[in-house]
Amino acid sequence: MLFGRDLHLESLVLIGLRQFTKLSLIVLAIGLLGACTTGFESNRHNIPLSSLTKARLSQMGSSEKAPMLVRIFKRDSELEVWKKVEKTGKFEHFRTYKICAWSGDLGPKIKEGDRQSPEGFYDVTPGLMNPRSNYFLAFNLGFPNKFDRAHGRTGSNIMVHGDCSSRGCYAMTDEQVGEIYALARETFKGGSKSFQVQVFPFRMTAENLAEFSDSKHMSFWRDIKVGYDHFELTKERPKWEVCNGRYGINRAGGCGASTLNADMKAAYSQMQTADAAAFEVAMANKAQSEKDAAAAAQRKIEAAQAAEERKIAVNQTTKKVTSWFGGLFGAGEQTEGGEDANAPVPPPRQ
């Protein structure tokens, strides 16, 4: 009996070992299958920049560790990456990426849940980088910033991320956000404490401002245009604070005198003068276009009315001609009772 129990126990052990071996092989197969995807599924935040990207940076006199700046234009669905060039200390355009999706309309984000993508100036720090995002990779814009909070605006988790799907964020393809994330990562490794993200409804030209001159957001847009203009002029990261509920761009203490040097002040003044003149021209062109459109619409209405009047006149003429031919051949004009209107009336009965 003892010998039999030992054999039974040995059989159970062998069965257990075989099952364990099968389970181990399954786990190993799953692991190998997962390893055959991209090789970076669990380490995607450390995907290196491509040799072509590094070569492009070197060609423009910059490097992967140089400071960077991002500009977003909603209407064009474009995200620009700028990198600082060592020789000049200025930012130069590196690459433009097409945004897959953004939420809402042109204009700033106001409150949590409005599904609106924000506009303004935001500073992204290492703590806002999200290497484990459900949307491949992401970085938080830091909304609401000081300006947003000063206006009581609310919201959270407003990101630039992958997955090409937006609920208030700026969504890119996974490949695009992978490169942008890597550029930001290397910028931080180079010693930058943050990189600035500038978000605009459109390129702040006189023509675009004139096109949307009736918008309720025009005052806000003219406010952030100051930062747009300063970057266009200086190719340097604009510094900003909140001044009496507005963006104070490149001003001492936020509300003080401009920190631009004399040459830049003169250049900025010339830019403002040229922009004002261009805006007046654009507004005049807009007014003329609206006038022409209204005149074209009126001509269309009048043409439709004339066509209807001609149709009525033709119908009346056709009816008269038909009646004349009917009378000529004795058909006569029929009354409602079906009798000939031209038939002789019989004498009254006695």
In this structure, what CATH number is given to the domain that contains residue 175? 2.40.440.10
* Position 9 in a domain: no
Least confident of 7-11, 39-43, 96-100, 319-323: 7-11
- In this prediction, residues 134-159 reach a mean pLDDT of 95
- Is the pLDDT at 27 greater than 80? The verdict is no
Residue 217 has pLDDT above 90, yes or no: yes
Which of the listed residues 180, 203, 226 is the one where a domain comes to its end?
203
- The residue that leads in pLDDT, 21 or 90, is 90
Pairwise pLDDT comparison (165 vs 44), residue with the higher score? 44
* pLDDT attached to residue 66: 98
Q: Which residues are catalytic?
A: 161, 169
pLDDT of residue 51: 96
Which of residues 171, 203, 235 is at a domain's end?
203
The predicted pLDDT at position 311 comes to: 87
pLDDT score at 4: 47
Return phi, psi of residue 122, to 5°: -135, 145
Q: How confident is the model at residue 37 (pLDDT cuts 50, 70, 90)?
A: very low
Given a cut of 90, is residue 241 above it in pLDDT?
yes
Most confident region among 47-56, 283-292, 307-316 by mean pLDDT: 47-56
The kind and range of the H/E element at 266 are helix 262-328
Query: Residues 113-131: what's their mean pLDDT?
Result: 96
Token readout for 53 is: 């990207």
Are residues 213 and 183 part of one domain? no
Q: pLDDT value at position 68?
A: 98
pLDDT at 339: 54
Closest CA to 136 of 33, 47, 45: 45
- Do 52 and 112 share a domain, yes or no? yes
Question: Could you tell me if 108 and 235 lie in one domain?
Answer: no
* Domain co-membership, 172 together with 153: yes
Pairing mode of beta strands 159-161, 170-171 = parallel
Q: Please give, one letter per residue, the 3-state secondary structure of 135-192.
A: CCCEEECCCCCHHHHHCCCCCCCCEEECCCCCCCCEECCHHHHHHHHHHHHHHHHCCC
pLDDT of residue 2: 41
Q: Is the pLDDT of residue 6 over 90?
A: no
Q: Model confidence at 7, in pLDDT bands (50, 70, 90)? A: very low
Please give the tally of structural domains in the chain.
2
Return the higher-pLDDT residue of 247 and 349.
247
What tens digit of pLDDT does each residue of 292-341 get?
888 888 888 888 888 888 888 888 888 877 777 667 766 555 545 555 55
Q: Between 151 and 338, name the one with better pLDDT.
A: 151
In a domain, 244, yes or no: yes
Range 69-89 average pLDDT: 97
Domain contains 339? no
238 vs 314, higher pLDDT: 238
Beta bridge mates, 240: 249
> In the chain, pLDDT over 90 holds for what percent of residues?
66
Domain that holds residue 82: 44-203
Q: What's the CA gap between 249 and 230, in Å, rounded?
A: 8
pTM: 0.75
Residue 337 lies in a domain: no
Instruction: Give the helix/strand (H/E) hosting 243.
Output: strand 240-243
**pLDDT at residue 162 is higher than 60:** yes
Are 54 and 159 part of one and the same domain?
A: yes
